[in-house]
Structures are given as structure tokens and as C-alpha cells.
Chain A
Amino acid sequence: MSEPIIQTRGLSKEFARDQFKVVALNGADLTVDKGEFVALMGPSGSGKSTLLHLIAAMDRPTSGDINVLGQNLRGLSESAIAKWRNAHIGFVFQSFNLLPVLTALENVELPLKLTKLSKSQRIEHARRALELVGLADRLDHTPRQLSGGQEQRVAIARAIVTDPDLLLADEPTGNLDAVSAREVLTLLGRLNREFGKTVVMVTHDPHAARAASKIRYLDKGALLPEGQQPEDWEVR
């Protein structure tokens, strides 16, 4: 029996921009089961990144309920959310967001600084995560010494080093060439299939979305029913 890992009900997010109210997400009902690899697609401004940010508790919804990994996020304090995110969520950014002054190993070790692991245990975990993404020979390289694809793989290693249940990726291939993008998608697919990680990936690239087991579309802030695409959506 499938076990829902993400459940949102009537989830909405509004922003005030100058004197206008912008509805970024309008009553989204999303369920993602454990072990799924879901791609959130849609045109720019459709609300897909907003939904991802709400799932990661990087932002608070205006209304609606959100339950991730059995935790009602609306009821958590900011410090509790920070701890929860560190323990349960791995986040992959479009621009990699590695700290440029730290080496690959130190970047990957960073989230473990918030755990009770000893220094040697942290190094061991970070080393293993980098081995998993195929960068065992780049431990002491700084981000500037890595290619875009390698940087994103370091970022994925950083996202999985705490062994989170849920991997969230915001346009992970958006800044990569085709070869690197394919490598990153293969890696995410492997993490999903071999390691049982639930993956939610935002993308507007249909090729990238094909790596997912399920695609959900958003349009003008609304999450469309399963199998439905925006009317003017062109598959490139």
C-alpha cells in the first residue's frame, strides 16, 4: 500500500507586490507517495517553485494545510523547521549554491555540522556521499575548480549526506549542458530507485521531466489534475 509522504490541501500562497496582490499558488492539493519521483512542470510563473519552497518549508503558506513526512509544517516554529529540514530534506538548487571558499568535501560536510556526529564520522559520511556521485577524486577541489556538472553533483552529495527521506530539486539541470544534465538526472533516478529516496523535481524541461515516474503540471498558480497539461503547453 502506498504511503503518502507529502500531502497538501488547498495550499495557497499570495505575495504583495507594490500595491498588487499576486497569487503564486492557488489551492494546490498534492499527494506524493514514498518512493515516487515526481516532476513539477509548468511555464514560468505557474507556481511550481513556490510549491517546492512550501514543501521544503522555506516559505509559509497563506492558507491551506501542508503535511510532509507526517509533520504538519504550519505548526512548527522557525528553529524547529530548521532542524527538521536538516534532518529530513535534501535540497538541490539550480545554481548549485556551493560555498565558494569551501572544498567539495567541506561543502558536503556542512549539513552534518548540525548533527551529533564526530569530526571523523562527518568526514567519512561526506566522503561516501561524494563517492556515490562519482567525485571521490575531487574532494579537495573548490567549486571554482569544478565544472558545472561536477558542482551540481557535489550539491547532490550535500543534499543526500544526512540521508534525508525527501530530495527536492529546483531546476537541477537548468544551468547545465546536455551531457551534464543527463548525468545529474541519471543520478537522481538512481537515488530514487536504488536508495528509495522520494524525489520532487521542478523543471520546465520535458527531457528532464522524463526521468521522473510521474509528472504534475501547474498553470497560473493552479495544480492541474493528474494527466492534464496546460492548454497552450508545447512539448519541445
Chain B
Amino acid sequence: MAIPLSYNLRNLAARKTTTIMTALGIALTVAVLLSISALAEGLRTSLETSGHPLHLLVMRTGASAELVSAVTQEQYGVVKTKPGIAKDASGNPMASLELVTVIVLESPENPGGINVTVRGLTIAGLKMREGARISEGRMFTPGRREVVVGKGIAAKYPMARIGGKLQFGRGDWEVVGVLDAGRSVANSEIFCDLAQIASDQNRENGLSSILVRAENEVSMQALIDDLKADRRLKPEALSEKAYLAQQTQSAAPVRAVGMFVSVIMAVGSCFAAMNTMYAAVARRSAEIGTLRVLGFSRTGILASFLIESLLLSLIGGLLGCLLVLPLNNVGTAIGSITTFSEITFQFAVTPRIMAVGVAFALVLGAVGGVFPAWSAARKQILTALRQV
């Protein structure tokens, strides 16, 4: 049987200041890692919940984003007659011709303005976004210069609230509603009537993309193949999920910097834990000798000090989780390198991320604790007893 855990816990409690300072160091490291992970997770969740599994996005050949794509009314006419496209209740094909552009909106945090996506669509397009609902105000009226804004936009830009006017194209657009699309990227967009914005921007025949819903998973690939093989179209056709997945790369630079900072901090925390544990071993040298005299083995001593280091890092890991927990669901935004506009989303401090944070802390504790524990176990009994 091992040296009792209460021995380690009480020793940690006995040197409160050292324990708290070391645990705090580990906690801050874990907090940095968790913040970055929560940001990436929030973006991933936002993008993943956005795409419909049966949606296809049709763009111009070579276009990597809707913003740089161009499709015509004629191509739309060809696409919507393809077999394998799902029909709505009225028997119309579920295919939405859309126009995507970018406007600059100012906010108190960014007086210079930030790019925001404006999407022109028809009733068909709105119907295909079942997860989105008007949470405030009403839907825009086709043929009028009205917009509805995603809730992320409404929260961040004072001018994009109901009754506000947004200036773009040939004049003012009135904000008439706020769209709640759960965690979807639709919260980061502004929606308006397709015909109205196409006319406003002189792009009646230079639209951006066609969103299509396949009947089922089997017909989806066939539809992609059919679209790609059509010489009249020669389009870029890919699933909406795949398109959105590309955008998760937008968090890569932030993530890389975050990981770099975390690693640097982790090395520091590791040394802090090591220093604390070496001090503990030195201070308790006579206790180590006594335990050996009582019959505890070298392995038992090693395990005991390693466990103590793990307990110390566990405290740090849990503290790190507590520090980051208030970030959960806090709104943030990141510039998409695919759409050149901002995606608003919420930090997601999920149990999985916290578990990773605690595991990370335990790794720090193990690495920081193994050498001091080894030095404790290696002590000769008499040497240990004499080191007071």
C-alpha cells in the first residue's frame, strides 16, 4: 500500500503560498491554452452548425469564395433543373441564387470599420435556412431597400440595430429585423432582397453563387458530378460543409500564436513546478528517510512525490478552467481569410476543452515532478535522515 494521499494533500496545504503561486502559474498557462482552444472551438462550432449536410454551393470555376465568384441567371436556370435537387412543399426546386458583397461597418471598437458580408437572396434562399428565425422586428420586404441583420452584427454595431440606416450602394438601407441563427455564421451576415441589391450594385447578371439542396446523401455526389460535367456551367461545386470547413483555417494564425505562447508558458510552469517539488524534497529529506526506515520502498517514495506534483498541477488545471469559464459564450469575431469579412461567434469553453486543459496541466505536473520525485527516491536512508 502506498503512502497516504492525505500526506501529500496536507503538505500542499501546509505550504499554502508556494502551492498557490505554483498552481497559479500553471493555471495561467492552462488559461491561455483554453482561451485559444475555446476561440477555435467557437469558430468551428459556428461553421459546423452553419452548413446543411445536403447543401451544395455552386460557384464559378476556380473561385475559392463566394465573394470572388460570379454566376449568371442563365446558369441558375440550368442548375435548378438538374435531377437530384430536393423540392419544397410547393414542388419548386430548392436552389437559391445569391449575391454576396462586403460593406464596411464602424463600431466603437473599430472606428475605421470592419468588413461585413451582405447577402442578397430570394424567398427560396430564406426558406433553405430553416435554423434562422427573426428574433426582433420583421423580415425584409422584397423590392424595398430593407435589411435584416444577424444577431452578432446587431450586438456589435450600433448602427445595425432596428430602425438604423446602413449606407451602401446607392443609398440608405433600413434595418427592419434581427435574425437569430443559433451559432451559425448567418449571425455574422446582413440579408436583403436579391433583386434590390443586384440592381443597386449593377450586378443583375453577375451574381455570386447558387445554393442547392440535394434530395439525399446519395444524390448529392451524383449532383456534384453532374454539375461539374456540364459544359454550360463548368462550375466549382462543393458541399456547403466543405466550403465552411475551409474557413476554420481563419483561426489558424491566432491559434499558432496562442499555441506558441502556451508552449513558452508551459516550459516556465514546468520549471516552477520542478522548483517547488525540489524544494519540497529538500525540506522533507528527514521525512523521506523516516518513511524508508518504516519500510516504504523507493518506488513508494517516487510515486508519492509524483502524485504530489500531479495534485499541484491538478489544482492549477482546475483553477485555469475557472479562470476561462467566464469567457464561455462571450461574443467575439475573427476576420475570415476566405470571405474577407468578419465572422462573429462565441467562445466555446466545452467540457472536452476543459478536460484537455486539465490533462495539459497534469502533463506539466508529471514533467515537473518526475525529476524531484526521482531524486527523493534515490536518496540513501542515512543521507536523507542527516539532511535537516
Contact = CB atoms under 8 A, between A and B. Distances in A.
Interface of A: 53, 56, 58-59, 78-79, 82-83, 85-87, 91, 93, 95, 97, 99-102, 106, 110-111, 113-114, 158
A95 B290 CA distance: 11
Contact of B7 (A83, A87, A97, A99): A99
A102 B9 CA distance: 11
Contact of B295 (A85, A99, A101): A85
A113 B4 contact: yes
27 contacts: A53-B382, A58-B292, A58-B293, A58-B381, A58-B382, A59-B380, A59-B381, A82-B295, A83-B295, A85-B293, A86-B295, A91-B294, A93-B385, A97-B289, A99-B7, A99-B291, A101-B10, A101-B13, A102-B6, A106-B4, A106-B6, A113-B2, A113-B3, A114-B294, A114-B295, A114-B296, A158-B294
A114 B292 CA distance: 12
B382 A78 contact: no
A53 B383 CA distance: 12
Contact of B294 (A53, A86, A101): A86
B375 to A, nearest CB: 17
B293 A56 contact: yes
B89 interface: no
Interface of B: 1-4, 6-7, 10-11, 13-14, 286-287, 289-298, 380-382, 385, 388
A121 to B, nearest CB: 13
Nearest to B286: A97
A120 B166 CA distance: 77
B294 A111 contact: yes
B297 A79 contact: yes
Nearest to B1: A113
Contacts of B297: 78-79, 82
B290 A93 contact: yes
A101 B11 contact: yes
B1 A102 contact: no
A78 B298 contact: yes
Contacts of A82: 292, 295-297
Contacts of B14: 100-101
Contacts of B296: 82, 114
Contacts of A102: 4, 6-7, 10
A83 B295 CA distance: 6
A179 to B, nearest CB: 26
Nearest to A91: B293
Contacts of A110: 4, 291, 294
